[in-house]
Amino acid sequence: MKYVMAVLMLLVFVMGCAPVTTAPPTSAIPPTTTPPVVPSTPTTTVPLAPAAVTPPPVAKVLSFEAETYTNEALGFTWQYPKKWKKAVDLPGDTVIKRVENENIMSPDNVGVAIVPEAADFSKAVKATIEAFPKFAAFHTKIDASPSNAITLADGKTFASESIATANINATDIYIYTVGFNKGGKTIIAWGITIGGGNSKAMIKEIAQTLSNQ
């Protein structure tokens, strides 16, 4: 019995010496922080812009009722007043008959010529006009201005324009030309007048109907 009591007292002593684990008070436990919920950014789909479309050129309203000349071989057109009459063929590589105003008091002439090489435009104009019968007969030399860059009536073909002057028998002659290179050749629409401002405006309007197809 004494032995049992001694064992019990030993156990009580040992248990009393063991560290007591005390749960921390609830207030001492740091609260669990829940990270804020970040709303997802919606994905915005940007529609692709449609491809740029080049609008067709706006047809220029002419001051005259037009007759159209079409050259199938080189693929170009040119227009001139329907009421004007066709005159004699010009020599060389002129591809249409000369067209002249019926008003003999203001002889305006227009046409299209082909230079059989892609030449410097001002030089091509000088060679073409000086080969015309009246110019050649009087050995007339023209004074051509440096060419300016323009766009043809089709709205996309780059071309050149040049103004030239000449004098035959004390008569001042005004020459307006438009042209471009194609197929290894130079295509020139020309207008010649001895008239005043109205005639100059008319032959310029006609020459500028030249269009690449």
> Is residue 135 assigned to a domain?
yes
> Is residue 126 assigned to a domain?
yes
> Is residue 30 assigned to a domain?
no
The answer to whether 177 and 184 are in contact (CB under 8 A) is no
DSSP code at position 187: E
> Is residue 1 assigned to a domain?
no
Residue 85 or residue 60, greater confidence: 85
Cα separation, 192 vs 190, in Å, equals 7
Give 154-177 pLDDT, tens digit per residue.
Answer: 999 999 999 999 999 899 999 999
Cα separation, 106 vs 98, in Å, equals 15
Give the count of domains, the chain.
1
The C-alpha R_g of the chain, in whole angstroms, comes to: 47
> Is residue 75 assigned to a domain?
yes
Q: Reduced to 3 DSSP states, what percent helix, strand and coil does the chain have, rounded to the nearest 5?
A: 20, 30, 50
> Is residue 10 assigned to a domain?
no
Q: Output the pLDDT for position 21.
A: 47
For residue 9, name the pLDDT band (cuts at 50, 70, 90).
low
Q: What is the CATH number of the domain that holds 156?
A: 3.40.1000.10
Cα angle vertex 45, ends 47, 48, to 5°? 20
> Is residue 40 assigned to a domain?
no
**Domain with 142 in it:** 66-212
Is the full-model pTM beyond 0.95? no
> Is residue 56 assigned to a domain?
no
Residue 31 or residue 62, greater confidence: 62
pLDDT more than 90, % of the chain: 47
Q: Which among 62, 102, 66, 103 has a CA at the least distance from the CA of 84?
A: 102
Cα separation, 205 vs 107, in Å, equals 16
Q: Output the pLDDT for position 116.
A: 87
Q: Output the pLDDT for position 50.
A: 58
